[in-house]
Structure 1
Amino acid sequence: MKKVLLVAILLLSIQSVNSQVLISLVFGDMLNSPKVEFGLEGGANFSTISNLEGAKSRTDFNLGFYFDFLLKNPSWALNTGVIVKSSMGANGLAVYSLNDDVLDNAFAGGHVDRKINYFNVPIMIKYKFANNIYVKAGTQLGLLSKAYDEFKNDYEGENLVYKNKIRDQIHVIDAGLAVGLGYRLMGGNGMNIGVNYYHGLVTVMKGDSSPNQYNRSFYVTAGIPIGKGKAAKKAAENKTSENDAQIIGK
């Protein structure tokens, strides 16, 4: 357990996705046990912001790591982890004034894409059926990393882009409900393929007025256990050693 906490803290402190993958590969077998499964999870997510005029869905990639802590009944598990690379927001928003005549003229008639990055932590109860289909439900908490509005326009034959940082206008903490459905390949020991839906309950913007705006996101993910084979082999070897010791003792 101490190793799990140590490596989890280490992973949380690393912002580089490449470093996260490398550390996961190195320490994966240490984090897996008969009662705990650790792995990498990533895919695409399609997000928008409710009650925001003109908001269209945006597509981003997500990547993180997960833990399944098996409960007393092995069909049930506590599913958690951290989605280290996770973006939400909306595209196609109306252009607003930047309090700069040059910029306002350049982006008149264009549009704004809003991107909000979070470190998301899902905490869900997971149930796996005998046919390897699983369902899960719970909550998801988000910690704001950065946020900006990307102004875009075609101006005199050129593609103009301007990023306006809006982090100080966004609530630092996001939270809501999460549900998921998936399937486990290879007889229950391989890759997880699933879909999750997040329904935010905390308003996105500070000082938000009616109608309130909330994050909505649909995830399509694939999860790969890291080091599970080594952990299972080690557990089998330990069990064999214990049995041999008992036989010798008799």
Structure 2
Amino acid sequence: MKYFSLIILFVFSVISVNAQDVDAKMTAKPKFGAKASLNLANILGDDAGDANTLVGYSVGFFTEIALTETFSIQPEILYSAQGSKSHLFYGGYNFDVTMKLNYINVPVMFKYKAADKFSLEAGPYIGFLTSAKLKLKNSSLGSETEDIKDLIKSTDLGFALGMNYDFTDSIFTNIRYSGGLVEIGNTDSDNNIKNSNLQIGLGIRF
């Protein structure tokens, strides 16, 4: 955890220096904003079973810093509700299983302005697990929720790809896919699961 914290501090220190250079050379100030997205989350991997999409959301803030007229860097901090849904047959009963994984995600996106109002983006992210719950529900037996935070790793690492379309100078829409690069299971076995998340949302620059 200390290693990843140092990485984040280094990235933001580099961003701060770049912002000062850009401001001096291009008189372009960093743009701050907020965004919210619909999450279509899931888990992938050999141990994911019949996992299906869980609808969640993400909200947070970002800073967009111009490096050139066509390239920029955009660090973000997002609260993201992820996880998956599946089914389980046990003891003669069918259960609906919902796994909810909530993260504070910190992506650093590198953006390329491909055309007027349209840009592409790619970059890494690190996620910090805030909570993990598993809910089992049966129409006859009711439901029960268990805390499974000890069974999930506290950090996630991945890579994201996306695109943006600017409706105005302030308002834009974003589509992004984020895929985990590391297994998130924290048990002795059945750990081959990774996060997968498609985000569709809106943002505003202040």
TM range (shorter): 0.7 to 0.9
Deviation at 1:74, TM superposition (A): 2.4
Aligned to 1:185: 167
Gaps of 5+ in 2: 1-26
| Aligned with residue 175 of structure 1, among 157, 164, 175 | 157
Q: Map of 1:1-250 to 2, 5 A cutoff? A: 34-51=28-45, 52-71=48-67, 73-84=68-79, 86-94=80-88, 108-155=93-140, 160-186=142-168, 189-207=169-187, 209=189, 212-226=192-206
How far apart are the structure 2 equivalents of 1:34 and 1:47?
A: 36
CA RMSD for the aligned pairs? 1.9
How far apart are the structure 1 equivalents of 2:190 and 2:151?
A: 16
How far apart are the structure 2 equivalents of 1:170 and 1:128?
A: 37
Deviations 1:132-158 (A, max 9, x none): 1000101111000000101111017xx
Deviation at 1:130, TM superposition (A): 3.6
How far apart are the structure 2 equivalents of 1:211 and 1:173?
A: 14
Contact 2:184/2:191 (CA < 8 Å) preserved in 1? no
Q: Residues 208 and 193 (structure 1 numbering): CA distance in 2 closer, same or farther, change over 3 Å?
A: farther
Larger Rg: 1
Deviations 1:40-99 (A, max 9, x none): 10020101101211101010121111111111x122111111112x11111024267xxx
How far apart are the structure 2 equivalents of 1:63 and 1:203?
A: 24
Please state which structure has a larger fraction of its residues in helix. 1
How far apart are the structure 1 equivalents of 2:155 and 2:191?
A: 19
The residue type equivalent to 1:202 in the other structure is V
Q: Residues 142 and 181 (structure 1 numbering): CA distance in 2 closer, same or farther, change over 3 Å?
A: same
Gaps of 5+ in 1: 1-32, 97-103, 227-250
How far apart are the structure 2 equivalents of 1:208 and 1:47?
A: 25
How far apart are the structure 1 equivalents of 2:165 and 2:197?
A: 20
* Aligned residues between the structures: 178
Deviation at 1:162, TM superposition (A): 1.4
Moved beyond 6 Å, runs of 4+: none
Deviation at 1:129, TM superposition (A): 2.9
Deviation at 1:190, TM superposition (A): 2.4
Contact 2:137/2:143 (CA < 8 Å) preserved in 1? yes
TM-score by structure 1 length?
Answer: 0.67
The percent identity for this pair of structures is 28
Please state which structure has a larger fraction of its residues in strand. 2
